[in-house]
Copies of this chain bind each other. A is one copy, B any other.
Amino acid sequence: MTQNMGKNRLEAFSDGVIAIIITIMVLEMKVPHDDSLEAIAQLVPVFMSYVLSFLYVAIYWNNHHHMLHTCARVTGGILWANLHLLFWLSLFPFVTGWMGENHFAALPSALYGGVLLAAAIAYWILQQTIIRDQGTESPLKTAIGSDWKGKLSPVMYVLGILSTFLWPSVALAFYAVVALIWLVPDRRIELRFHHTGT
């Protein structure tokens, strides 16, 4: 019971931080002072980068939810691995705003990819920390299976970052494709749990 308590509070805190991140991102879309079509057209790239980041944060929330579901207790390691993930997610509003405001220029797009990459690594560390804690027959390990999405994503981010130096818009395509791949929720874990009737 003690440990479930801890897990609930970890979930609630993570949900709180993620809910705030996803919502304050919209504050980077500054309200223009005049009411012209040009003023609002100027914001289209900011809006597009907002949509992309909203998808990413929503995907992280969803997968985080499924991952913690398999997790019976919260150790110090899990707690800090989770905070480490939240740290990188907290940088999404900044890089989203910078990339959008500069219309997907090379450097901001590369930094955006860098934060995506760091968040993916932090997620992987959290996943490994939970699996190690669960020992052999880890339900999470069984659930993620080959984890091809988790392995493909960092490669795509690196390709995206590298492509910013030649064709910045290609970088954006890489980031968008990864988001689409993940949009299909992590049914591996979901299925396993319906299977075992938990």
Contacts and interface: CB of A to CB of B under 8 A. Distances in A.
A136 interface: no
B198 A2 contact: yes
A35 to B, nearest CB: 4
A160 interface: no
Interface string A68-90: 01000000100110010011001
Nearest to A9: B65
A193 B2 contact: yes
For this chain, the copies found in one complex come to: 4
B54 A90 contact: yes
Interface of A: 2, 5-6, 9, 11-13, 15-24, 26-29, 31-37, 40, 51, 54, 58, 61-62, 65, 69, 76, 79-80, 83, 86-87, 90-91, 93-94, 97-98, 101-102, 105-108, 111, 183, 185, 187, 190, 193, 198
